[in-house]
Amino acid sequence: MTCPECSSEMKPHERGGVTVMQCTSCEGIFLRRIDLGLMIEEENDWHVASGPSTQPLPRITPGMSVPPAYPPAKKSRSYIDALFG
């Protein structure tokens, strides 16, 4: 397959169960409409699953010490960000 933008060769890459064709020159991507639909569904599912989570506050007892500070974990902004990041 040749790139519609710059006419260079496009190579397939497997991302999240979807085949994405990427240009070797301009790095543009091409995917089938059904694959785009699958990626949109996965994106929506990712946002539902990564919604705000609340945990119960611990009961304060005498002699409790302050918990150690942990650096926040780097979180992907979206499913697509996780695939291509």
**Model pTM?**
0.54
Residue 35 lies in a domain: yes
Q: Which CATH number does the domain housing residue 12 bear?
A: 3.10.20.860
pLDDT of the chain along its 85 residues, tens only? 899 889 999 999 888 788 889 999 998 989 889 998 888 898 888 888 887 777 777 788 888 887 777 766 677 778 777 777 6
Residue 26 lies in a domain: yes
Range of the domain at 25: 1-43
C-alpha of 34 from chain center:
18
Q: CB of 18 within 8 A of CB of 31?
A: yes
The backbone torsions φ and ψ at residue 43, rounded to the nearest 5 degrees and listed phi first, read -60, -45
If one counts the domains in the chain, the total is: 1
The backbone torsions φ and ψ at residue 21, rounded to the nearest 5 degrees and listed phi first, read -90, 130
